[in-house]
Amino acid sequence: MKAFLSSVLAGLFMLLSPVIDAQVFITNDMLPLEITESGLYVVAEPLNFTSAGDAILVTANQVTLDLNGFTLTGIREGAAITQSLGHQGLVVRNGYLDSWGINAAFGTAIMAEGANNEFSDLHIRSSRGGIFAGANSLVSDCYITGITNNTSSYGLNMEGNSRVLGTLVDRVVAPTSYGIVGAGNVLVERSIVHNIGIGGTTAQAYGIALNSGRVKDSIVSQVFGGDSAYGVFSLSDLKLSSSSITQISSADEGYGARAFAALEIVHSVIGSISAGPDGDSVNIANGARVSESVVRQSDNIGLRVGSRSRVEHSVLGRFTGDEPAILLTGHDSRIEGNLITESHAAVFALPSGTNNIVIRNASFDNTFSFSTPANHIANTLVSPGIDFNHATQQYYYENIRW
Amino acid sequence: MGVVAQDSLLHRINLHNSVGSAWRGIDVTRSWLGDSRVSTVSPNSPQGIVANSSMVVRNVVDGGYVNVLGTGSLLPHNQVVNSGFQPFQQPAGGRNMAYRNTASTTAGNMISNPHHARVESYPGVNFISTNNPWGNIRH
């Protein structure tokens, strides 16, 4: 029996040995290292790269790099790990990347210009840039902190069709700062972006900036840009759900959320915006929807609404400038069932804001309540109650003013 | 006390209490509270939801009641059941709007001290009540 077991174990070893043989252990004396073949590469000791250039250059497909809990440190120009353009399937996991490019003119922790990559369980700290992830890539369970640059930098830079899950980006400090910047169709989920930007007079800061995508179950807080600051920004379609966007501050243009195409905000909190003269808590273009959310506290407009949009069943309040909680700039929008408090005005329509419906909202403790929407066919209410048949305020159309 | 929040959004909370005196389940100020359930078997004036200048929408309060403090709350589409208390209670002069709620196995009028009552004139006994403002239903 013992002989039989021994022969079985020997057979298993023979079967597994090619896999074991495929592992390559990386030691400090191998740097700089170019990986030209697919396989599993495991860091065997702390790596300290003191030369200029990339520590590890990947020029093959399907390369897995396991940092094995060790730290890869480098302080000069270059990246800890670079994947050259045209390659794919790079996996980097389980370790620390420290001080990449921090004292140099350029450099970043990971520069993956290929595609279909995966980065997980990484802690990147005190570097000039975070992760450039390539297209169709996944970043998960990473912690990126202390990104410092004298021009422009990011915690994460995601190419199109990529995902960010369970990741924390904290402290990106540059004249143009991005917590997470992405191309089209990028999903950010269960992540936190915190303390982005430097707040100088010409500085721009973005918590999350995407061409298009979705932000879900995430938190963005403390974004500081003297020239402009955006909690969440999109050039095209964006859905923001179950997320919190707070403490966005700019001396000129501060926005909690802004999208240049369809923006949908559901079950989210957007608040504490120092918007400056040109910013809004939420700036929605045409065809947008804000539903069941809280938008509060800004020194400028709460919601700037374009055409064909809906703002419904939300709480808006504490807009302390001489601006309204909701500003209607376009046509055919519907403002329904909102509670609007403690602002200069609840709803105000610009002369361009025609053919909108403002219905079943409540205005409480606002200096002015509802302006008369142009082209609005008023339904004069005659039900009991002094606020329903007011002689000069018959245009309320099932709105209530307390 | 279960949850206390200001300037917040609370969604899909399930909270249960078995005892307590003047217990407060979810206490919100300037907040949005929705799609949650608060239940208790305490007979001693349990306040399932306490709302102050908040939106309270699509919640179920089972065994308690909704205490509406101050002014400026909107309370649509909630359900209050099995409390034996008046479902929505606000102080005299309270300026809040509760509409399209339902209540069953409760006591008294739908809302105490209704201010901006709009009497619905639809057929059916549930709709004809001077204490049944603006599309609320009390079974």
DSSP string, A75-104: -SSSEEEEE-TT-B-EEEEEEEEE-TTTTS
- The span from the CA of A320 to the CA of A344, in Å, is 7
Q: Would the pLDDT of A213 be above 80?
A: yes
What's the confidence (pLDDT) of residue B23?
A: 85
Q: Is A182 helix (H, G, I), strand (E, B) or coil?
A: strand
What's the confidence (pLDDT) of residue B118?
A: 41
Residue A300 zone, left/alpha/beta (φ > 0; ψ -120 to 50; rest): beta
The confidence band for A165, taking pLDDT boundaries of 50, 70 and 90, is: very high
- Angle (CA) A271 A315 B80, round 5°: 135
The confidence band for A22, taking pLDDT boundaries of 50, 70 and 90, is: low
| Residue recorded with tokens 């990947």 | A58
Task: Dump pLDDT digits (tens) for A115-130.
Answer: 999 999 999 999 999 9
| Cβ separation B74–A296 shorter than 8 A | no
Q: Are B105 and B81 in contact (CB under 8 A)?
A: yes
- The span from the CA of A273 to the CA of A257, in Å, is 10
Choose between A207 and A383: higher pLDDT.
A207
Interval A59-63 mean pLDDT: 97
Q: Are A31 and A47 in contact (CB under 8 A)?
A: yes
In angstroms, what CA-CA distances link A315 with A111, A292, A293, A295, A390?
43, 8, 6, 6, 25
The confidence band for A373, taking pLDDT boundaries of 50, 70 and 90, is: low
The confidence band for A374, taking pLDDT boundaries of 50, 70 and 90, is: low
Number of Cβ within 10 Å of residue B113's Cβ equals 16
Closest chain A residue to B93, measured at CA: A402
Consecutive H or E run containing A4: helix A2-22
Choose between A389 and A28: higher pLDDT.
A28
- The span from the CA of A145 to the CA of A130, in Å, is 8
Q: Is A21 helix (H, G, I), strand (E, B) or coil?
A: helix
Task: Dump pLDDT digits (tens) for A313-349.
Answer: 999 988 988 889 999 998 888 888 888 888 998 888 8
ipTM of the complex: 0.73
Q: Indicate the residue of A292, A383, A384 with minimum beta-carbon distance to B34.
A: A292
| Cβ separation A400–B72 shorter than 8 A | no
Q: Give A22's DSSP letter.
A: H
The confidence band for B138, taking pLDDT boundaries of 50, 70 and 90, is: very low
Interval A74-78 mean pLDDT: 86
Q: Indicate the residue of B30, B74, B116 with minimum beta-carbon distance to A385.
A: B116
Non-local (6+) Cβ contacts of A254 within 8 A are: A225, A228, A229, A230, A248, A273, A274, A275, A276, A279, A298, A300
What's the confidence (pLDDT) of residue A261?
A: 86
The CATH code of the domain at A22-401 is 2.160.20
- The span from the CA of A144 to the CA of A309, in Å, is 37
Interval A21-46 mean pLDDT: 94
Confirm or reject contact between A297 and chain B (CB < 8 A): yes
| pTM greater than 0.80 (yes/no) | yes
What's the confidence (pLDDT) of residue A16?
A: 45
The confidence band for B107, taking pLDDT boundaries of 50, 70 and 90, is: confident
Across chain A, what does the average pLDDT equal? 86
Q: Would the pLDDT of A270 be above 80?
A: yes
Choose between A260 and A214: higher pLDDT.
A214
- The span from the CA of A221 to the CA of A243, in Å, is 11
- The span from the CA of A144 to the CA of B131, in Å, is 57
Task: Dump pLDDT digits (tens) for A388-401.
Answer: 333 333 333 445 55
Task: Dump pLDDT digits (tens) for B67-82.
Answer: 998 877 888 889 998 8
Q: Would the pLDDT of B121 be above 60?
A: no
| Out of A191-195, A266-270, A396-400, least confident range | A396-400
Percent of chain A with pLDDT over 90: 61
Task: Dump pLDDT digits (tens) for B3-33.
Answer: 999 888 899 999 998 776 778 999 999 899 9
- The span from the CA of A297 to the CA of A275, in Å, is 10
Which tokens in the block code for residue B30?
Answer: 């300037």
Confirm or reject contact between B9 and chain A (CB < 8 A): yes
Closest chain B residue to A364, measured at CA: B72
Query: What share of residues in chain B are helix, strand, coil (percent, to 5)?
Result: 0, 45, 55
CA distance A312 to chain B (A): 12
| Cβ separation A314–B32 shorter than 8 A | yes
Closest chain B residue to A297, measured at CA: B7
What's the confidence (pLDDT) of residue A400?
A: 53
Non-local (6+) Cβ contacts of A121 within 8 A are: A93, A94, A95, A140, A141, A142
| Cβ separation B116–A383 shorter than 8 A | no
| Cβ separation A294–B116 shorter than 8 A | no
Q: Which residues of A111-130 are buried (b: 16+ CB within 10 A; e: fewer)?
A: bbbbbbbbbbebbbbbbbbb
Interval A251-272 mean pLDDT: 91
Q: Are A355 and A335 in contact (CB under 8 A)?
A: no
Q: Would the pLDDT of A15 be above 50?
A: no
| Out of A198-207, B7-16, B88-97, least confident range | B88-97
Non-local (6+) Cβ contacts of A401 within 8 A are: A363, A369, A370, A387, A393
CA distance A95 to chain B (A): 36
Secondary structure E strands in chain B: 3-6, 9-11, 14-17, 24-29, 32-34, 37-40, 47-52, 55-57, 60-62, 65-69, 74-76, 79-81, 88-89, 97-99, 102-104, 137-138
- Angle (CA) A295 A296 A299, round 5°: 125
Number of Cβ within 10 Å of residue A214's Cβ equals 20
Best mean pLDDT range from A18-22, A206-210, B9-13: A206-210
Interval B35-55 mean pLDDT: 90
Query: Which residues 362-381 in chain A show a CB within 8 A of chain B?
Result: 362, 364-365, 381
| Cβ separation A362–B31 shorter than 8 A | no
The confidence band for A46, taking pLDDT boundaries of 50, 70 and 90, is: very high
Beta-carbon pairs below 8 A across chains A and B: 74
- Angle (CA) A34 A36 A39, round 5°: 110
What's the confidence (pLDDT) of residue B115?
A: 54
Choose between B53 and A393: higher pLDDT.
B53
What's the confidence (pLDDT) of residue A134?
A: 96
| Cβ separation A294–B71 shorter than 8 A | no
CA neighbours closer than 13 Å in the CB half-sphere of residue B75 = 35
